[in-house]
Every structure is written in C-alpha cells, then in structure tokens.
Chain A
Amino acid sequence: MTKSGFVIANLFRKRTRTILTLLSVITAFLLFGLLQSVNTIFSAGADFVGATRLIVQARVSFTSPLPISMLPKLEAVPGVARVGYSQWFGGVWQENTPLIMFSIDPLRHHDIYPEYVMPEGEWQAFADTRTGMIAGKMVAEQYGWKLGQKIPISSNIFPQKNGSKAWSFDLVGIFDGKDENWKKRTNIVYMQHDYFDEANQFGMKGRTNFFILKLTDSARAEATAKTVDAMFENSPDETKTQTEKDFNISFVKQIGDIGLIVRWILFAVFFTLLLVVGNTMAQSVRERIPELAVLKTLGFSDRSVLGFVLAEAFALCLAGGLVGLSLASLAGAMVEKGTGGQFQLHLDGSVWLLGVLAIVLMSVAVGLLPGLRARRLRIVDALAGH
C-alpha cells in the first residue's frame, strides 16, 4: 500500500456519495469545457487564414443595410473575383416554424458558392422566376417540399406593401452540399432579392444586409478586407469586412455579451459545485475524527493529516475534472461535426490549462477547511469523543 492508495481507499468509503459527488464535478467541468470553448471562439481576434470569401456589412450593425449601389466599387477591389449580396428575411413556415431565409441574387450566389450543388436548369429557373425560391435539401426533406410546389411563407418583420404578412413562393430548386460538411449547411432557404426589393413595405429599396466577396487569392484576404473598409471610411455607409466564420460569430454575439453570460453561468456552476464538494469533504472528515486521531497516534504529523484531506479533495476534483473536460472535448468535436465545421468547439490548450487551474483551486477551496480541522485535532480529545 502507498499513501496515495490510502487516499483513494478513503475516498470510496461511502461509494454512492463519492460517485454522486464525482458526477457533479464531471458535469461542472463538462459545462466549463464547452462554455469556455464558446468564450474562446467569441473572444478570439479576426482570423483571415484560409478565407476564400469575405462578408461586408455596415460597420454600425449587421441590421443596418448597405446600398446595393456599392457593388461596382466592391467588384473593382483587387483580389475580388465575384460579388454577391444577401438580405435576412424573417420567414415563418406554417404556424410558427422559423426558417433561415435570405433574399439573394441567384446567379451571383451560384458563382460564389460552388459548394452548393443544384442542376444548372434549376439555378436558371430561380433566376428567371420572380417569386422563385430554392431550399436546402435538409429543409425540403424536413417539411416535405417538392419541386414546383407553391410554398406559403409569412414574415413578421417584412410585410408586403399591401400590409399582408403572407408571401407565396414557387419552389424551383432544391440544392445539396458538395460534401458531408456542406450537406449539414443545407438548412437554408433562398428567395429572389428583386422580388423582396419590390414587394416589401419598408423603405429598404436597393439595400441589403451584407455583401459576399469571393476572393481570387485567400492569402490576400486580410489586405482585401482592409482595402474595402478603407474605401468606405468616412462615408455614410462605413463597412466592416470579415471572414464568414467571424461574421457567423458576430451574428450570434448580437444576443448579448457572450463572455459575460458564460462567466456568470460558470460562476453559478462552480459556486454550486463548491458547496456540494465542500459539504462532502466536510462530512467525510467529520465522520472519521477518531480515525484521523489514530493516524496521528501512529505517528503521522499534523501536516501529513492535512495533506491526506487535501489529497482526497484533489483526487476527487482531478478525476471529475479530467473526465468532464474529456467529455467536453468529445462533445465539442460532435458539435463541430454536426454543424459542418461552422462552430469549431474544440478545447484548445488554453481551455485545458484553465481547467487544470480550476481543478487545483477547487481542491484547495473544498479541502482546506476540513483539512485544517483535521490538522488542529487534539488526539486525546478526538479519541475521547469530545
């Protein structure tokens, strides 16, 4: 037997209690791993590496539309191969099923997103049909839509000029993704921007939420972004140009301060965990006061006894923490795979490092008070049951 063997044996004195405590530590660190990864994504700086497309939005906000008249200027920027644009349309299917729906210029989009696969005839039909609409395979299969079908969609954000919220579209194409990742991104619906432009009630004519720039050279992505933003600086429509990944992140960021939300959730989780594990440790020490006194009787010093209690707390937090972080790593990989790589929720070195730091701090926090109690224990009083 070793001292660590003795610590582990003591840890499993009340098997059910230890397993339940371990499960709470695992859950807390699973949440910690996932939320911290989310936080890392949202707090990361712009990353232009490998970007083949850039998104240009209004500097103020994505919700503030830019004039489509900017298009020729954008097309003239060195390194830009093709420019498309897209406008968010708050479409609702049937009663209250929200859709991810945008209005676009069909042929420009076709050139910019070769990853979306659809017969050329359907692209052309989309371009030629004012009320045309194309749907990703996932959406079409989910709602049972068939080619040629009339699809009624309502929009709470964009009513038609006559005040009606009901829009009617002709489904002229169903697109798929070129590979597994892109197949997972076929949860989108597109409508003709010209139709949107003419029919919507708002004075948004000739405007769009954002432009998409297809680049000739991904190595020049950052330089191109800077050129675009510099071009519109001090104009009424200042721009913010970023990669698709960063755009997606800033889209989610509109919910609120993600970092703050994550920090509060983690604070609540760890505070609760502190109470749960702290109570387990305190109870565990209280139950074996005579045994701790016997250890001292046998010649273990006060410091050794403190060490045993701290080691138990550390072993509990370490086992739970490492399992929790590993599960978070696994779950992150699944999220990444499930979203076709759009959310890269992998636990990087910094999250693991923070996790290990949290394990150490948590161990000290939950083990110190019971440990000090064990350290202060007077053998004679403890054996006499005082």
Chain B
Amino acid sequence: MPESMVEVAKVTKVYQRGRQKIEVLHGLDLDIPKGDFVALMGPSGSGKTTLLNLIGGLDQPTSGEVRVGGSRIDQLGSGELARWRAHNVGFVFQFYNLMPVLTAERNVELPLLLTKLSSAQRRKNVAVALEVVGLADRAKHKPRELSGGQEQRVAIARALVSDPQLLVCDEPTGDLDRKTADEILGLLQVLNREHGKTIVIVTHDPKAAEFARRILHLEKGQLLEQARAA
C-alpha cells in the first residue's frame, strides 16, 4: 500500500453568497498516494477548484479532515498555513500570475525570500529550477518579454524552487495553444516521473487529463473515480 500524500475525509465546503448558503462539496473522500499524478475533471461548479484549494491549503473546509504529507492542515491557523504552504506545496495557475515588475529569475526567487538561504544559495537554486523547465537563457527577461508557454514554465520553476513534494495546478494549460499545452504537460509528467513530485491538476481538457496517471471526475461535489494507466 503506497504512502498517502493527500487524504481528504468527509470534507464539506459551504460558501456564503449573500444570504444564500451554497454547499459545493458534500462529505467528499479522496486519497492521493505519494508520487501520483491526478487530473481533476468535471463541469463548471462541480467543486474542482474548491477541492484543489483545500488540498493546497488556500482555503479551509467547513467540516471534515484534510491531511497533506501527514499534517492536518484543516486545523492550522492562517499564519501556520502560510508557513506550511511555503515549505510543502507549489502552485501553478492558469494565468501564470507572475510579478510583472520582476525578471524571470526574480519571480522564481520570490518563495526563497521566506527561507534562510544565503543570496548565493538562492541564486543557485533559481538557476537549477530554470534549467529544469528549460528557461535558463530567459532568466533576465520580464514576463511581458516572454511567450505564454515560457511564462508558465517560469511559474512552474517558481512552484518547484523550494522543492515541495506536492504541486497543485489550476488549469495550467487553459490559456495555451495545443502544442505549448502539451509541452507544459510533458514537463509536469517529467517532474512526476523523474523527480517524484505528486501532482494534482484541475482541467477541462480531456487531452490534458491524459497526461495524468489517474483522472478523477467530480460532479455536484461528489467524486466519481475513473482509473487509467498513463
């Protein structure tokens, strides 16, 4: 039995929109083993991003337990959760969300400002991360000087640089053309297979989901698993 990276048990999430309460997840259970590559699919409003946010420690469940890498993150306060995120999880977003005023290498260095690494060590780690995503030659460029695919590679390097075991990606190829999207998904596959990263992506794109080891379908806040070999 492989060790679990993510354990979600009986998780419910209710949002308050004005006077209305909207229950997005209904007592959901999920187990993602270490080294897995999971694609979460489902129609809009099915709760994919909500589940991803709970796994990444960006949000707290209304009830239930969320355990990541053995830690109960649903019980952490805001400050503890921020520290936990800094050391345990990397994020990749659909629109890259890079800092426009910083160069690629400085964007990648940003999470390392939260560590006690020396400036030289930080530069070294940044160089390695950019090398992994194949963008060492674009280190001095600002986001506006990069293509969408290159920006997403920088975002992946930023997610990797502090060496987290879990990567959560929300529609990482949603803003890219097919060819670039496949390159990015291929890169995620390499990170999963060769570097042992556990990856959870949310996608609408069945072709993108095919890069994962497992595809999980969510519908109306309930999980319908569909196993497949990558």
Complex partner residue of A6 from B79, B83, B102, CB under 8 angstroms: B102
Complex partner residue of B58 from A1, A12, A303, A380, CB under 8 angstroms: A380
Cβ–Cβ contact A299 & B97, under 8 A: no
Residues of B with C-beta under 8 A to A13: 100-101
Cα–Cα distance between A379 and B99 once the two chains are bound (Å): 16
Cβ–Cβ contact B102 & A299, under 8 A: no
Residues of B with C-beta under 8 A to A238: none
Q: How far is the CB of B58 from chain A (nearest CB, A)?
A: 5
Q: How far is the CB of A204 from chain B (nearest CB, A)?
A: 73
A348 is an interface residue with CB less than 8 A from chain B: no
Q: Which residue of B lies closest to A12 (CB)?
A: B101
Cα–Cα distance between A383 and B91 once the two chains are bound (Å): 12
Q: Which residue of B lies closest to A8 (CB)?
A: B101
Of A50-58, A290-298, A358-366, the one with at least 4 CB within 8 A of chain B: A290-298
Cβ–Cβ contact B79 & A301, under 8 A: yes
Complex partner residue of A299 from B93, B101, B109, B114, CB under 8 angstroms: B114
Q: How far is the CB of A74 from chain B (nearest CB, A)?
A: 72
Q: Which of A61-77 contact B (CB under 8 A)?
A: none
A9 is an interface residue with CB less than 8 A from chain B: yes
Instruction: Please tell me the size bucket of the interface on A.
Output: 20 to 34
Q: Which of A367-382 contact B (CB under 8 A)?
A: 379-380
Q: Which residue of A lies closest to B84 (CB)?
A: A299
What number of B residues sit within 8 Å (CB to CB) of A?
A: 27
Q: How far is the CB of B98 from chain A (nearest CB, A)?
A: 8
Cα–Cα distance between A291 and B98 once the two chains are bound (Å): 8
B111 is an interface residue with CB less than 8 A from chain A: yes
Complex partner residue of A291 from B56, B85, B91, B97, CB under 8 angstroms: B97
B106 is an interface residue with CB less than 8 A from chain A: yes
Cα–Cα distance between A299 and B79 once the two chains are bound (Å): 9
Cβ–Cβ contact B106 & A1, under 8 A: yes
Q: How far is the CB of A375 from chain B (nearest CB, A)?
A: 10
Residues of B with C-beta under 8 A to A303: 79
Cα–Cα distance between A301 and B87 once the two chains are bound (Å): 13
B113 is an interface residue with CB less than 8 A from chain A: yes
Q: Which of B70-88 contact A (CB under 8 A)?
A: 78-79, 82-87
Cβ–Cβ contact B99 & A291, under 8 A: yes
Cα–Cα distance between A366 and B111 once the two chains are bound (Å): 28
Main secondary structure on chain B at its contact with chain A? Answer: helix
Q: Which residue of B lies closest to A3 (CB)?
A: B113
Q: Which residue of A lies closest to B164 (CB)?
A: A299
Residues of A with C-beta under 8 A to B63: none
Cα–Cα distance between A295 and B107 once the two chains are bound (Å): 11
Complex partner residue of B85 from A1, A6, A297, CB under 8 angstroms: A297
Cα–Cα distance between A13 and B59 once the two chains are bound (Å): 30
Complex partner residue of A298 from B101, B106, B114, CB under 8 angstroms: B114
Cβ–Cβ contact B82 & A380, under 8 A: no
Residues of B with C-beta under 8 A to A202: none
Cα–Cα distance between A10 and B53 once the two chains are bound (Å): 27
Contact A298-B79, Cβ < 8 Å, known A1-B113, A6-B102: no
Cβ–Cβ contact B97 & A290, under 8 A: yes
Cβ–Cβ contact A10 & B101, under 8 A: yes
Q: How far is the CB of A386 from chain B (nearest CB, A)?
A: 10
Q: Which residue of B lies closest to A296 (CB)?
A: B82
Cα–Cα distance between A303 and B85 once the two chains are bound (Å): 15
Q: Which residue of B lies closest to A9 (CB)?
A: B101
Most interface-central of B56, B82, B93 (chain A CB within 10 A): B82
Cβ–Cβ contact A299 & B111, under 8 A: yes
A122 is an interface residue with CB less than 8 A from chain B: no
Q: Which of B13-35 contact A (CB under 8 A)?
A: none
- Encode B106-142 as 1/0 by CB contact (under 8 A) with A: 1001110110000100000000000000000000000
Cβ–Cβ contact B59 & A300, under 8 A: no
- Encode A280-314 as 1/0 by CB contact (under 8 A) with B: 00000000001100111111111100000000000
Q: Which of A305-356 contact B (CB under 8 A)?
A: none
Q: How far is the CB of B126 from chain A (nearest CB, A)?
A: 9
Cβ–Cβ contact A302 & B82, under 8 A: yes
Cβ–Cβ contact B91 & A298, under 8 A: yes
Contact A302-B79, Cβ < 8 Å, known A6-B102, A13-B100, A294-B97: yes
Contact A6-B78, Cβ < 8 Å, known A1-B102, A379-B58: no
Cβ–Cβ contact B58 & A299, under 8 A: no
Cβ–Cβ contact B82 & A300, under 8 A: yes
Residues of A with C-beta under 8 A to B79: 301-303
Residues of B with C-beta under 8 A to A296: 82
Q: How far is the CB of A312 from chain B (nearest CB, A)?
A: 12
Cβ–Cβ contact A298 & B85, under 8 A: yes
Chain B positions within 8 Å of A, measured between CB atoms, are 53, 56, 58-59, 78-79, 82-87, 91, 93, 97, 99-102, 106, 109-111, 113-114, 119, 158
Which 8 pairs show the lowest CB-CB distances between chains A and B? A299-B86, A9-B101, A301-B82, A294-B97, A299-B85, A298-B111, A1-B106, A379-B58
9 new A-B contacts at CB < 8 Å, known A294-B97, A296-B82, A298-B85: A1-B109, A6-B110, A297-B58, A298-B91, A298-B158, A299-B85, A300-B114, A302-B82, A383-B97
**Would you mind naming 14 contact pairs between A and B with Cβ atoms under 8 Å apart?**
A12-B101, A13-B100, A13-B101, A291-B99, A294-B99, A298-B85, A298-B91, A298-B114, A299-B85, A301-B79, A302-B82, A379-B58, A379-B59, A383-B97
